Amino acid sequence: MPNKFPILVSGAPRAGSERTISPDRRPATGSSEVIVDSPVHGKAPWEVGAGQVQEMLEMYRDRFLALKAEGRTSYVHIIRNHGAAAASSLGHPHSQLFGLPFIPPVIDAELNGFASAYPGEAGCILCDIVRDTEAEGSRLVMATGGFVVFSPFAARLPYETWIVPRRHQPRFEDCDRLDELSEVMTEVLLRYRDRLDDPPLNYWIHSYPLHGESRPYHWHLEILPRLTVPGGLELGADVWVNIVAPEEAAALLR
Ligand SMILES: [Zn+2]
Ligand SMILES: [Zn+2]
């Protein structure tokens, strides 16, 4: 459903005066949606069961496909804020979708990273990371036929994990293994609840922009527990100091 407090709307008024100060000024055009994760009020969908998580993921995919068909959105960002300290502001379990009229800076940086890892040749840095992480083992959390879960080498925050499909696929909306992904997500998120005392956390999906095909990319889901408060170094310089080694984090979640 549309968000009651949308940050982006279709037909948004222009920001500020018509006198253009910066070429970056543009209307806040796009979409803000709330996805109701579950009919069960007091439980996260992964506490209801993998079937509920699968329905939620299928709705994510349906909305990606609908906004893509509509043709006005550049990038779909779906997130889930779990717990008040992770900015969840509504009691009923829900996710949020932002249909952005631009490619966000983090995705732009990731696209540049994929391209610079293999300049001028075919190859995927995330396929390499999956293979190397699994072979080395110390940062691996779990692995199934279709997905690998691990703490990234340079995890930003304590117990950060990524869920990555083994299949090289740029876009989440092309994933045809949402049943298996829902089992993996349920297992991982229940481990967070049981081993870290149900921490506040955010997760989001990183996927290729809705249109165009020209750059290497590999979709993934990032989970960030919010056990520490980022300070001036993190926010001011985008330099992240993590007090829990990713190997320790993975061992706890394995
Ligand atoms: Zn890949
Ligand atoms: Zn990412």
Using a cut of 0.85, tell me whether the model's pTM lies above it. Answer: yes
Q: Which residues contact 133 (CB under 8 A, 6 or more apart)?
A: 139, 140, 148, 150, 153
CATH number at residue 211: 3.30.428.10
Residue pair 216/118 in contact (Cβ under 8 Å)? The answer is yes
* pLDDT band for position 213 (cuts 50, 70, 90): confident
Which residues touch 246 (CB under 8 Å, ≥6 apart)? 139, 151, 152, 153, 154, 155, 160
The pLDDT tens digits for 96-155 are 999 999 999 999 999 999 999 999 888 999 999 999 999 999 999 999 999 999 999 999
Average pLDDT over residues 27-32: 87
d(CA 252, CA 208): 31
Residue pLDDT, tens place only, 31-51: 999 999 999 998 999 999 999
Is residue 212 domain-resident? yes
Please report whether residue 203 resides in a domain: yes
Centre a 10 Å sphere on the Cβ of residue 90 and count the other Cβ atoms it contains: 11
Q: pLDDT at residue 27 above 60? A: yes
Tell me, yes or no, whether 45 lies in a domain: yes
Cβ-contact 148, 134 below 8 angstroms: yes
The answer to whether position 16 is within a domain reads no
Q: How far is the CA of 111 from the centre of ligand 1 (A)?
A: 12
Name the closest ligand to CA 163. 2
DSSP assignment, residue 87? T
E strand or H helix at 218: none
Instruction: Return the higher-pLDDT residue of 13 and 81.
Output: 81
- Under 8 Å between Cβ of 48 and 76: no
Note the ligand closest to the C-alpha atom of 129: 1
What is the pLDDT confidence band of residue 159, given thresholds at 50, 70 and 90?
very high
- Residue 96 belongs to what domain range? 31-253
**In the chain, how many domains are there?**
1
* 139 found inside a domain: yes
Which listed ligand is nearest to 126 at the C-alpha? 1
CA distance 150 to 246: 9
Band of pLDDT at residue 84, cut at 50, 70 and 90: confident
Could you tell me which of 166, 172, 247 has the C-alpha nearest to residue 203?
Answer: 172
Q: How many CB atoms lie within 10 A of CB 106?
A: 12
Q: How far apart are CA 21 and CA 56, in angstroms?
A: 42
> Who has greater pLDDT, 85 or 196?
196
Relative to the alpha carbon of 167, which ligand is closest? 1
Is residue 20 in some structural domain?
no
Nearest bound ligand to the CA of residue 109:
2
Please give the single-letter amino acid code of residue 237.
A
pLDDT at 26: 77
Rounded to the nearest angstrom, the distance between the alpha carbon of 162 and the centre of ligand 1 is: 14
Mean pLDDT for the chain overall: 93
The answer as to whether 151 is a domain residue is yes
What distance in angstroms lies between residue 170's CA and the mean position of ligand 1's atoms? 8
203: alpha, beta or left? (left if phi > 0; alpha if psi -120 to 50): beta
Cα torsion for 144, 147, 148, 149, to the nearest 10°? -100
* Predicted confidence (pLDDT) per residue in 216-228, tens digit: 999 999 999 999 9
Lowest-confidence pick of 82-86, 129-133, 173-177: 82-86
pLDDT at 50: 98
> Residue 48: inside a domain, yes or no?
yes
Q: Which tokens is 73 given?
A: 């959105």
